[in-house]
Amino acid sequence: MSGGTGNLFVIAAPSGAGKTSLTRSLLEREPELKLSVSYTTRPPRPAEREGVDYHFVTPQRFMELKADGEFLEHAHVHGNWYATSSSWLKGQVTAGHDVLLEIDWQGAAQVRRLLPDSVHVFILPPSLESLERRLVGRGQDDEATIARRLDAVREETRHCREFDYVIINQQFASAVDDLAAIVRTARLRAVQQCVRYKALIAQLT
Ligand code: 5GP
């Protein structure tokens, strides 16, 4: 992804930590940030839309896309396949756009290996009880799915040290501020600023 000056942000969290709401708020505040739409073999939830929340594909189509090299990373999460589009991402970052990936820890580890400059953020709920409440309260998954997701929380959380930043989603507004601060800091990195302000630096040197 050399050539462009776009930042790649990777956000992961256990289910129910509030990642989707936080990301939505961050995107409202930072409209320049482009959210990657993943591929998944999971069936759509009632309110989800094709091409907006996910590209919903059959397992067969998923494997075809994988064989074609269309995925930057892919992972099996809670019984379904998920993947990030490589061609879309490369296009965005090369054009200088900042991109956000909402993916699991396995995908984050793959992205880290491929793109070491990516900025990785892990979001934690303030407690196990709050996480359970959110999972049940959103009423989107059946009991077995919720139980499976709660089992996965321990595994997911164990990987938080592999991330650059950890945000506790205790006060929503403050967690959004934290996310925005990370985005702002990344944009100030010298390697990018020196490309953006090449003319100024040339004039001053
Ligand atoms: P959900 O089915 O609740 O939308 O997502 C389940 C999990 O899959 C979440 O942890 C979400 O971050 C993760 N996920 C969503 N898209 C991708 C992706 O493209 N790659 C990977 N590795 N994980 C993803």
State the distance from the centre of ligand 1 to the C-alpha of 102, rounded, in angstroms: 7
In a domain, 142, yes or no: yes
Query: What local confidence, expressed as pLDDT, does residue 16 receive?
Result: 81
Q: Given the CA of residue 14, which atom of ligand 1 is nearest to it?
A: 10
Tell me, rounded to whole angstroms, the distance of Cα 28 from its chain centroid. Answer: 16
Has residue 1 been placed in a domain? no
At 102, phi and psi to the nearest 5? -105, 95
Is residue 2 assigned to a domain? no
Domain annotation covers residue 52: yes
Q: Tokens standing for 42?
A: 């999971």
**CATH assignment of the domain containing 64:** 3.40.50.300
Q: Is residue 153 in a domain?
A: yes
Residue 127 backbone dihedrals phi, psi, to 5 degrees: -160, 165
Say if residue 2's pLDDT is above 50.
Answer: no
Dist. CA 109 → ligand 1 center (Å): 13
Q: Domain limits at 200? A: 8-204
Residue 3 located in a structural domain: no
Selection from 12, 48, 9 nearest residue 152 by Cα: 12
Report the domain count for the chain: 1
Q: How far is the CA of 157 from the centre of ligand 1 (A)?
A: 15
pLDDT at 4: 64
Please check whether residue 163 lies inside any domain of the structure.
Answer: yes
The arithmetic mean of pLDDT across residues 107-114, rounded, is 97
- Helices of type H across 30-142: 59-67, 86-94, 105-114, 128-137
Q: Which residue has the tokens 């990370």?
A: 182
Q: Please tell me the distance between residue 196's alpha carbon and the centre of ligand 1 in angstroms.
A: 33
Q: What is the pLDDT of residues 50-102, one digit of tens each?
A: 999 999 999 999 999 999 999 999 999 988 999 999 999 999 988 989 999 99
Which ligand 1 atom minimizes the distance to the CA of 110? 22
Ligand 1 pocket by C-beta < 6 Å: which residues? 15, 38, 42, 73, 75, 77-78, 82-84, 102-104, 106-107
Residue 8 pLDDT > 80: yes
58 token code pair = 């059959």
Contact status, residue 96 vs residue 8, Cβ threshold 8 Å:
no
Asked whether 173 and 162 are in contact (CB, 8 A), the reply is: no
Q: Would residue 109 count as lying in a domain?
A: yes
Q: Which residues of 74-109 are buried (b: 16+ CB within 10 A; e: fewer)?
A: bbebeeebbbbbbebbeebbeeebbbbbbbbbbbbb
**Euclidean distance between CA atoms 100 and 95, whole angstroms:** 15
- What pTM was estimated for this model as a whole? 0.92
Rg (CA), the chain: 18
In this structure, of 14-23, 133-142, 190-199, the range with the lowest mean pLDDT score is: 133-142
**Digit-coded pLDDT (tens) for 16-59:** 888 999 999 999 999 999 999 999 999 999 999 999 999 999 99
* Residue closest by Cα to atom 16 of ligand 1: 103
Encoding tokens for residue 199?
């003319």
